[in-house]
Structure 1
Amino acid sequence: MPDTPRPELPVRISVETDVDAETAATYYRLYVETFGHLATKAVARQLLHEDEFLEEMHDPRVSKYVAWDGDDVIGLTTLTKHLETVPWISPAYFEHHYPEQWARDAVYYLGVTLVAKSRRESHVFQAMIAACTELILRERAVCAWDMCFYNDEELGLGPAIRRMLDHHPELQVAPIDRQTYFAAVFSPPA
C-alpha cells in the first residue's frame, strides 16, 4: 500500500517577551544552523554574535513569535516596535517617512525569521508571518524588514513573502531602501 502524505498539522505560535537561558541557547543553535552559511554569501554580517542574540532573547521590548511542534521549537520570528533595539537601522528614517504610524506607536521591525531545517517544507514560516501580519493589520501599522541579496533574489524569499502578503490588499509591499557594496580589485594588465 503506498504511503499517504501526512496531513499538515497546525503549528502552534506563542509570543514570548523573555526566555530562560537554556531556551535562548537552543534558539541560538537553531539561528546559527539557519543563517551561518550567509557568512560567505553576503557582504554585511547577517549573523548576530551570540551575546547580541541572547540580549535580544531576554529583551522584553522584542517579541519572540515561537513556532512549536509539541514541545519542540521549530521556528522563531522576532518583532519589535522599539526600533532602538535594532542597531543597524535608523529610527529617524521611519519617524520621517511614516509620521502618522510613528505618532501612534505603530511602526515595527521584523528582525529574524527562521525555521528548523527539518520543517522548511512545511507551513511554519507562513504561520509565523501570518501571526505578525495579524498584529500589523489590527494596528494599521508599518512593518519593515531587511534581507540580503542572496536570500531575496537567489533563494527567492523576498518574492515569496510578497506573495504571502499580497493576500491582504490593504498591505502595500515595496522596497524602501537599498545598499549596494562595491569592490575595486587589482588585476595586473596582461
Structure 2
Amino acid sequence: MHVDVEKVLTGTRREEAWHLYTDAFAELRQAAVQRHVLYRTEFDDIMSDDRVEKYVAVSPTGDLAGLSTLTNDLTAMPLISPEYFANRWPDHYKDRRIWYLGFIAIAAPERRSGVFEAMIERMWRVVRANAGVAALDLCARNESRQLDAAITRTLTALTPEVVPTRLDTQAFWSWELPTAS
C-alpha cells in the first residue's frame, strides 16, 4: 500500500474517488443534522482545486483504498470559517501553518488494514515539518465511534507531545408538537 499526493484528480481516478467518497459517507447523509457530505459539484470543485492536496491510497492491485484532502489555504474549503483560525492562531494563520483536513475516506474492504493510519501519518508529516496545526470537523456520530481517539493515538505514536483540543461543538435541537390522538 502506498499513499500518493496529487494536486488534481481527473477522469477515471476522480470517478473512483467519488464512488469511494459517497460509499464511505453515505450513512452521514441521514445521521447528521448539518451536512457533512459534499454534493458532487462541491466534490468536483475540490478535486480540481490545486490548493487542496489529495492524498490517494492505492492498493497493490491499483484499486483506490483511501482518499483524503488537506490544505493550508483555508479559503479553499467550504463550510469552515478562516476567520476563526486567524483569530485563534494569528501567527500560524499569517504564516499558513494551519492545515485543514477536509475528509478522510477509506474503502470498506480496507478498513482496519492500516490505510487510515498511513494516510494520517503522511498528512501529519507536512504539519509537523512546519510546526503547524491540523484541524478537521468531526460530527457527534464519528466521535461516538471514537474517530478522534483513533487519530490522537496515531499522532501520539508519531509525535508524543501532540496536544489534541476540541475546538467547537454544536447541538441541534427541535421542538415538536405531539400528534393529535
Q: State the TM bucket, normalised to the shorter chain.
A: over 0.9
Q: Which of 29, 32, 47 does residue 42 from structure 1 map onto?
A: 32
Is 1:98 aligned to residue 89 of structure 2?
yes
Task: Kindly indicate whether the alpha-carbon contact (under 8 Å) linking 1:25 and 1:54 is maintained by their aligned counterparts in 2.
Answer: no
Is 1:117 aligned to residue 117 of structure 2?
no
Q: Which of 27, 30, 50 does residue 20 from structure 2 map onto?
A: 30
Is 1:141 aligned to residue 132 of structure 2?
yes
Matches of 2:108 and 2:33 in 1, distance apart?
A: 24
Q: CA deviation at 1:116?
A: 0.6
Is 1:172 aligned to residue 163 of structure 2?
yes
Task: Kindly indicate whether the alpha-carbon contact (under 8 Å) linking 1:165 and 1:173 is maintained by their aligned counterparts in 2.
Answer: no
1:83-118 per-residue CA deviation (whole Å, 9 max, x = no partner) reads 111121110111111112112211110001011101
The alignment's TM-score, normalised by the length of structure 2, stands at 0.94
Amino acid at match of 1:101: H
Q: How many residues align?
A: 179
Is 1:66 aligned to residue 27 of structure 2?
no
Segments of 5+ residues of structure 2 without an aligned counterpart are none
Matches of 2:78 and 2:56 in 1, distance apart?
A: 23
Question: Any idea what SS the aligned residue of 2:16 has?
Answer: helix
Q: Which of 111, 122, 145 does residue 131 from structure 1 map onto?
A: 122
The alignment's TM-score, normalised by the length of structure 1, stands at 0.90
| 2:71 aligned residue | 80
Matches of 1:72 and 1:188 in 2, distance apart?
A: 50
Q: Percent identity?
A: 33
| RMSD over equivalenced CA pairs, Å | 1.4
Higher Rg:
1
Q: CA deviation at 1:189?
A: 8.6
